[in-house]
Structure 1
Amino acid sequence: MNQDYDYKLVSSEGADHFVRKYYSNRPDILTLFLNLKFPVLRSDLLRYLILESEGGVYSDLDTAALKPFNEWIPSHMKEKVRAVVGIEYDQGDDEPYVGMNEPLQFCQWTMASSPGHPIMKKVVSSVVRSLQELALKNQTTIEALSPSDGEVITVTGPKVWTDAVFQSLSEAMASSMSHVNITGMREPTLFGDILILPIDGFGSGQPHSGSWRGEGNAPTATVRHMWKGSWKHGWSN
């Protein structure tokens, strides 16, 4: 679907090479990443570093393209968009869904941005700081970190990502942005240069948030996520 794009599958060794290439002048990031051994923590941080450095589109292995990248952004917005973010969870008026701690959460299994976008700079800084704080809290080293699923979500996963997105939206709109401004969204909406896709953009087929539950794929879906979740403790394939 994306014949005009180059595709890179990044291995663990390739991740180390990438970070040495782009962050040799940032020892706070380079040393932390090279010492980080817990796979999902490395994977989470790496995706933010890739987009901060090179830009482009990141997507997890357990995803499939439903529409070409060039169709993700409405034609009348293409000259303005510098980052694309999708909603993962929108509680709305429903009861909280199991495992979700925020009323609205953005997914980080798929995302896109231009190089150096502020949204990526924010999340990289937050993750580095949060990992250092987690190691201190648990009285261990970065290398020996073995976090719970909840700590992963908070420190490197959807929670820290969602916080960074809302911070960037607030700056773009010169107003405090929260789930109240996003909940119930059904059309792609531009905030400054950040395009927010509604729930079915990246997260159709989920048993919550009013996402598509019909046969096939939602008409507005761009990516299908398989929810393998192999990083989670006790997760059975």
Structure 2
Amino acid sequence: MIGLTYYGHSTFLLDIAGEKVLFDPFISANELAKDIDISMIKPDYILVTHGHSDHVADVEQIAKASGAKLIANFEIATWFANKGISNYHPMNHGGKLKLPFGTVKMVNAIHSSTLPDGASGGNPAGFVIETAQGTFYYAGDTALTYDMKLIGESYDIDFAFLPIGDNFTMDIHDAIKAADFVKTDKIIGMHYDTFGYIKVDHEAIKAAAKQAGKQLHILKIGEKTNI
């Protein structure tokens, strides 16, 4: 079992056998997460999918305060290295990294990626993470893509973090197809409601998931659960 805390947008903190793994930290600039004190977040690892500000806004502050290892593509990792983050590991698509909590593989995502100052954020990505407690897919910001079928063919995915906000990413219907592609019935929704462009009808998305036989987890900001 993996412990999970939701901090809004696409930001999750996972407790995997005592190791704390933070994804795409965007908290202090998110009005919906104004009650979250980021000084209390002390991850061991920070995983970043792409360079947009709504995924990297709090990387520098949290990494420097916690000493967490930053894991991202080469462009993002070295961009933060120039900001004084020395504990980092660059990756790229198809590569794997073994860590104390499991194995991280960087996989494809269809999106864009520019860092806050306009620098290239390289290619956007997702992650497949294998652990003794379960294997999961963190899609990052992405469109539906047939590449997801390769994940389903190669891994036994227990659950998937999938964007559902539409406009910039998949909507719930494409997320359901993505879950089919990676062969899981458990979806943790992300990248919705934060901005006007990605507001969703909660009842409608829950109904769509139920009709498709999927377990859709829509968490409240600050909520903790086990999965």
TM-score range, shorter chain: under 0.3
Structure number with larger C-alpha Rg: 1
TM-score where L is the length of structure 1: 0.27
Please identify which structure carries the higher strand content. 2
Q: Which has the higher contact order (CA 8 A, sep 6+)?
A: 1
| Greater helix proportion | 1
